[in-house]
Amino acid sequence: MAPQPPPLAPTTVVGAENYPADLVAAVVRATEAAASACLPLVGSGDKNAADELAVAAMRDALGLAPFDGTVVIGEGEKDEAPMLANGERLGTGIGPECDVAVDPLDGTRLAAENLPGAVAVIALAPRGSMFDPRDVFYMQKLIAGSAGIGVLDLRATPVQNATRLADALGKPLNELVVGVLDKPRHASLAAELRDAGMRVHLVGEGDVSIAIAAATPGSGIDAVMGTGGTPEGIIAACAVRSLGGFMQGCMAPQSESERATAVSAGHDLNRVFALGELVSSDRVLFVSTPVT
């Protein structure tokens, strides 16, 4: 008999009080449907096939949700993976008008290799309140819990920010834990933080999961620094806002062609976006179902 996939871990729901109970339940069903759909391919090594199953299941479930949704963030465009497309309409058309940010499978490689951290996520906010980062696929991010509010600033150096946060948290610098994506572009950042005496928690994938951890007191992750996907950044902003945490972001093209495209689209590459600019409403619903 073929081995059975493990049961789903509990779904996290933040901001349920902001939306009708039937809509919240429908969004929960959508993340759980996406997570369940790809479970048979966990550990298969085929990340795109797992992602495709999750996308189809989430799309079908959200099509029945009692709202008028428009996808602002459909993760997948930057790596040509399966995705719910930006501008796609979701729901029955009856109910709250919402911006929708989705990642049916955040951490596709983690799922394909059966490593911890893959999740299915959806965020809702009132229509027009999510920043649309079209044409820019990467963002520099600085994320922490509420202790970072009024303390941290992307324009400061990583060590300056870490020192400020340690002071705000009332802990020694050598006890501060900073989450960083394990990418070649972050080698110097990780070395700089370690040389200053703090602990670096490297993650191969999972921008959204590590952002949630940084904004959640007692998670073991005090902050997130570095550059990750812009679509995941907006989803993370929804989670961080609903959790009462701190976040700033700055567009960070990774090549000259990306830079030229971003400038042509009218983006100011020097602008630091506050959390309230990434998602301008506090009426956010964030739902996350773990896959691995």
Between CA 160 and CA 177 the distance in angstroms is 14
Residue ranges of the binding site? 51, 75, 103, 106, 232
d(Cα 193, Cα 200) in Å, to the nearest integer? 7
Binding site, annotated residues for Mn(2+)? 51, 75, 103, 106, 232
CA dihedral 69, 17, 219, 72 (to 10 degrees): 10
Domains and CATH numbers, the chain: 12-126 (3.30.540.10), 138-279 (3.40.190.90)
Taking the CA of residue 6 as centre, how many other CA atoms within 13 Å lie in the half-sphere pointing to its CB? Answer: 12
Residue 240: left if φ>0, alpha if ψ -120 to 50, beta else—which one? alpha
Q: Contact at 8 Å (CB) between 50 and 108?
A: yes
The pTM assigned to this predicted structure is 0.87
SS3 33: helix
Give pLDDT tens digits for 20-44: 999 999 999 999 999 999 999 999 9
Give the tens place of pLDDT for each residue, 173-229. 999 999 999 999 999 999 999 999 999 999 888 788 889 899 998 999 999 999 998
What integer best gives the mean pLDDT of the chain? 90
